[in-house]
Structure 1
Amino acid sequence: MEIFLFLLTIKKIIFVVGDRLLASSYPDSPTPILRALGHLVKQRRTALGISQEELGMRANLDRTYISGVERGVRNPSITAIASLASGLDTTISNLLENLEIEAENIE
């Protein structure tokens, strides 16, 4: 049995926001778009008055994952974003409604 090992030598994440490209080395520094997403998640969570642990239970995600999202060091999949939105009692589109504006404010 052959085992193939693939090493990722270039750790770049590239995001397209509107007509702009945002790139960052991962995991060294969070991109503005990830920091903005984290801010929106934290803002909604604190408005609901729930802890990261409570959000994790509601969204079926680990508390440490929630923390990483809020700090902008995690790049959540669309299914994780859907889980977060559900845990925050909102829709994906509502959660992400001001994402570009937040990202511009962070830059």
Structure 2
Amino acid sequence: EFNANTTLGALPEKTLDAIYKFSGDNDKLRRSLFWKGMRSLAEPGENVGLLAAQSIGEPSTQMTLNTFHFAGRGEMNVTLGIPRLREILMTSSEHIATPSAK
């Protein structure tokens, strides 16, 4: 049986560096972030690709379906859906084209 707690180098070095940099001298926070990262590891054989695709596909499908209901309404900006999702997922730009909050 796979046990992530006993796996050497389970968390990537970049993640560990980020934890140490973010937590500073706070040991309690450092331990908490480390164990949160360890608990987030997937078991070998777990269907993470399927879950990731579903997590991305469902909201984008719902946004597409919602555009039908909001078509023709001036107060709703229908163009925010898919372009905004692309901006979030692909991190295509540093400057958000359609910010929703100022």
The alignment's TM-score, normalised by the length of structure 2, stands at 0.27
Q: Which has the larger radius of gyration?
A: 2
Considering fraction of residues, name the structure with more helix: 2
Higher relative contact order (CA 8 A, sep 6+): 1
